[in-house]
Structure formats: C-alpha cells, structure tokens
Structure 1
Amino acid sequence: MKLTESTRNEIGMPVVGFGTFQLSDDQAEYSVTEALKAGFRHIDSSEAYYNEEGTGRGIKAAGVSRDELFVTTKLFPAPVKNYSQTDKNYSQTIETLKNQLKQLQLDYVDLYLIHAPLSELRMEQWNAFVELKKLGLAKHIGVSNYNIATIKEILDAGLAKPEANQIEFHPISAQVELTRYMKENAIAPIAYSSLAPLSTWRVEEGQGGEVLAEIKKEGQQIIKEVATKLEVSEARVLLRWGLQHGYAVLTKSSKPERIRENFNLFDFEISDNDMERLNQLDQNQALAWAAGGLDPMAAPPLK
C-alpha cells in the first residue's frame, strides 16, 4: 500500500500523529495549533501529561472540523499526582474521561487508552472502557505499553479486545514478537519514542535522554548513513521506518519548522536493504521508559 498524507490505519487513525508529551499547557496550545495548520489530523494526549487544557485550546484555535480530527488520550491507571494512592476503579475511570473531555473541550475522543498495565484493577478499568465506548465517549478503546501477557489477560476473559496498543517502537526496540501477535489479533500498532536512538533525543536536563546512550552509538552511524543516502533528516528516517513496519507514528516538537518537517514522510521510501540494516539494530531494549526507571512492558503478576 502506498503511504500518503491521507493514509489511515484500520481504526481510521491518520498514520502520522502529533504527540504532546513533555509540553507545558502553553506549549501544547501553540504546538497543537501549529501541527494542525501543518496538516496533522491526529493528536495524541494523556491525563499524565498535565496539558490537556492547552491541547484543547490548541485544537479549538486551529478551527479544523471535528470529523477531520482523530484525538487520542490516555487514562493513567492511578491518581497521577501520587502513584501510591489507590488505583482507579470502574466509576473513577468513567469520571476521568468525562473530566478529560471537559479539558479538551470535546464531546468524545476517537481513541482512549490505558496508559500502562500498572494497576491491579486494570481489568476493572478495561470493563469501564467498554462502557465508555457504549456511551459514545470514546469511539475506539485500546491500551498502551501492554505486552502479550497483559493483552491475553483481556482476551482470555472474553472481553472486547483492545483495538490498538501504543508502544515504544524504534530499531533498538523493535518488539518483533509483540508486533506479530498484534497483527495476528488485528490490534492496531502505534509507535511512540521513534526518535529515541538519536543523540539529540530528550537532551534537556531531567528528560532522561542520556540513559543507555552507549548502546545507541552503532545504530546512530547506520541511521546517519541511510539519512544521507536519502537526503532527509535522521528523524524522518526513523519515523518512516515505523510507517513501513505498519505502525502509526507520533512526532513532537514545539518548533514550527520541525513540526512541518516531521509531517513530511511521504515523498521518500527506505529501500528493503536499508530497512534490513535498521532492523538488525534491534536489541529488544526500551529506552524511553528506562529513562524514567520504569518498565511497564514487564508484566505485573496476573491476578
């Protein structure tokens, strides 16, 4: 299938989305507006980003028709201010999305995700997600940072399957078995932290980009060689690599020129040979969550 700006995946999601992680409310407002002006029609947010009011203002300011937009947000499985508090139960999950919709100034989201399988109440939360879809508050429901075991937990219970799983995905963390499993079960794959292999990823103090920097060096040379051959940026190579693996990808920037550049992924293609060179970099190593000292892909004990 030829990829174009209008390409959408099996749940109707535009395959290139704009993410809002690590943006302040004001940055989110400005950047989301700029992204929508640049042609993005897929916005990715989360309760845990503390910027949904700004994201909502940015969506409104751009003036794009709601039926053209695909908006994703996420439930953090426990109170985001203090993870030691009690995990969210069924009714709290319902109320959380209602509150998020107020902040986003929307009547519904196109996709609602459980941010990670960190809660012992995750099955109760999933039942609430099924109800939220019935209520029309979420058109599609899915998960994030789930592995095969935690997806199977839902399927084995005979519940509605997740329609999508958003995971860290880049050449160093290619998630081969999980990707195959999602394809077999028609679960749409969404990539975050596609740019984690780069030395320029999360360089500001406290963002964690320096963690595991030593394992990225070999890959950086190969990524640079592919980018030079194609005459595109290294960031665009990594995003295009995700697209060619069948993933939707997320980009993020607060700079208008970078926002526009990262949306432009459709006028070049990585050759089969260079795709394989990038595939060979896989170390099955998460970088984004390692930066925070947490790995939600390691399944908690199933209850």
Structure 2
Amino acid sequence: MILSNTARNRIGMPIVGFGTYQLSKEQAEFSVKEAILAGFRHVDSSEIYRNEEGTGKGIKAAGISREQLFITTKLYPLSKVPKIMSKNHQQTIDTLKNQLVQLQLDYVDLYLIHAPLSALRLEQWAALEELNKLGLAKHIGVSNYNISTLKEITDAGLTIPEVNQIEFHPLCTHVELTNYMNKNAIAPIAYSSLAPLSTWRADKKQENDLDHIKRDCQLITKQIADRFHVSEAKILLRWALQRGYAVLSRSSKPDRIRENLELFDFEIPESDMKRLNHLNQNQPLAWANSGINPMEAPPIQ
C-alpha cells in the first residue's frame, strides 16, 4: 500500500492526526504547537476533553495558515446543567459556537457527535447538518456509531455521515462495521490504536483487568517491531493505516510527537498483517474503566 506523509482521506483530512485526549489546557497548548511545528496538520479535539482553550492557543502559536490545517472537534451529546440531559437542536448549535470561541477559529473542518448516547441523536444530527450549511463545520460525522445507529440517520431521511471515528486495533477490528462504512463511503478514523500495549494508559488504574487478552498481540507486535527496528506503537499505527483507517496519536513529549508522525518509511508485509488481523476478539478497551459502552444507544425519543 502506497502511503505518504501528505496523504489525505476522501474528505481531505490528513490520515495521521494529533489527538488531545487527557491533556490539560497547558499541555494541550504546548503539545498542539509542537505537533504542528513537527508537521502534523490534523488536530483532533472534543468538548468533553475540557482543553479546547489550550488547543486553540497552541494552534495560534504555531503560526501556520488556517488553510493548511484540518481541525476536528466533537459534540458531547449530554449536558450536566442542571442535570444530565440530552442536548437539543439549539443547544447543539450553541455548543459548537462556544467551542469555536475557545479554539479561536471561525470554523472547524470536521464536527462529530462523540457517541450515540442521547435519545435525541437524530435531532443533534439535524443540527450538525445546519452547522454544515452555516459554514461552521466544513464536514460532519459521528463517533462510536454502529451499523444500526448509522442506518437510523439514513432511515430518517437525513444525510449519511461523512466520517465515523471508532476504537480500532488488532483486538477490536469491527469487521462488519468497517465493511459497511466502506460500502457507504463513510471515512474511518481509528482512536485508541495503542490500546493493546502494556504501556497504554499505564498511569491510569483500570478497574477491569484486560491484560490477559493483550498478550498475544503484544508478542506479535514486538516481533514485527524488532524486525523493522521501530517502536511497537508505530507498528500498530501503521497497521491501521494499511487497513484504510486514518489514525490519531497523542503525546506531550516533543521527541515522541515527532516520532509518531514517522510512519511512512516502512510497510508491514501482508504475512504480518494477517497475523495481526487474526488477533481480533471484538474487544473494546478504551471505555472499559468507565463502565460505558459508547456504542450502546438508548431508544430514540
């Protein structure tokens, strides 16, 4: 598969992006600036990360023209004021407008519904369509949607999402969902690509011990990494790229930020791709500690 560091997916998004999850405002400001200066042109954020003010400062401090950047952010579908409740159409519109103020931007290139956790998700999607028409979001999509919740949108006569961002790594490949997205021209984006590694979120206590299902993946990933003299993280990111997914990486360390962008000077052979592909257990890891399955949707109101 021919891939380059200038490659973009079908909506013009750079296929390697810089994520900001779990970064403080200060870390986001520093890391986003470093990432853009290192060559990243896609930055991925979210309302729920609570660091968009720092992300916006980092974008501005990097001094790169807006036209060269692709900025993604997400709507968290629930509100905690005054109690946990779904955001309606107008609240969805207002949320992005507030995010744009924090990001110091006139528009985002991609706006996603973070998960189908709301019974008002069709109303929220209609609001994203309006945001697109207003020019506040150049492209719109979803995250953590399965085939059923994607079909809800088209069954309601609404436009099909351009993107679906989902957890994707050798232990969780969403075979049927990936095929459905490919058939319907929904661009796939992988998050938590490094979840199988022993170092992934090692500083965060996991209530559910899932280390036992990672061992084979860690062994095979290390074998391939040693042969190519690259990190195991690079193998997992490159594997997802060769599977047709855009990927996200995150770090607050400048050396690691630069390293995570260097994914285009080697290719995983088909034999090793098959070894990694065969590890699939349909086992998500990213939300395990929260007790939430983001792809389990409540009934539509």
Class of the TM-score when normalised by the shorter of the 2 chains = over 0.9
Q: Does 1:301 align with 2:284?
A: no
Runs of at least 5 residues in structure 1 that lack an aligned partner in the other structure:
none
Q: 1:227 to 1:210 in 2, by over 3 A?
A: farther
Give the whole-Å Cα distance in 2 for the aligned partners of 1:90 and 1:277: 45
- Report how far residue 192 of structure 1 moved: 0.2
Give the whole-Å Cα distance in 2 for the aligned partners of 1:128 and 1:163: 15
Q: Deviations over 1:221-265 (max 9, x none)?
A: 011011111111000000000000110000000001110111000
Give the whole-Å Cα distance in 1 for the aligned partners of 2:97 and 2:223: 47
Q: 1:258 to 1:209 in 2, by over 3 A?
A: farther
- Report how far residue 292 of structure 1 moved: 1.7
> Where does residue 183 of structure 2 map in the other structure?
184
Total equivalences in the alignment:
301
> Where does residue 53 of structure 1 map in the other structure?
53
Give the whole-Å Cα distance in 2 for the aligned partners of 1:229 and 1:151: 40
Q: 1:62 to 1:211 in 2, by over 3 A?
A: farther
> Where does residue 291 of structure 1 map in the other structure?
289
Give the whole-Å Cα distance in 2 for the aligned partners of 1:45 and 1:132: 17
> Where does residue 139 of structure 2 map in the other structure?
140
Give the whole-Å Cα distance in 2 for the aligned partners of 1:84 and 1:198: 37
Q: Secondary structure at the match of 1:263?
A: coil
Matches within 5 A, 1:38-117: 38-79=38-79, 81=80, 84-117=83-116
Residue type at the aligned position of 1:121? L
- Report how far residue 291 of structure 1 moved: 2.4
CA contact (8 A) 1:211 1:287 kept: no
Residue type at the aligned position of 2:163? A
Matches within 5 A, 1:211-222: 211-222=209-220
CA contact (8 A) 2:167 2:193 kept: yes
CA contact (8 A) 1:211 1:290 kept: no
Q: 1:216 to 1:84 in 2, by over 3 A?
A: farther
Q: Secondary structure at the match of 1:143?
A: strand
- Report how far residue 302 of structure 1 moved: 4.5
Q: Secondary structure at the match of 2:30?
A: helix
Matches within 5 A, 1:139-218: 139-206=138-205, 208=206, 211-218=209-216
> Where does residue 8 of structure 1 map in the other structure?
8
Give the whole-Å Cα distance in 2 for the aligned partners of 1:241 and 1:209: 28
Q: Deviations over 1:79-115 (max 9, x none)?
A: 2x56952210000000000000000000000000000
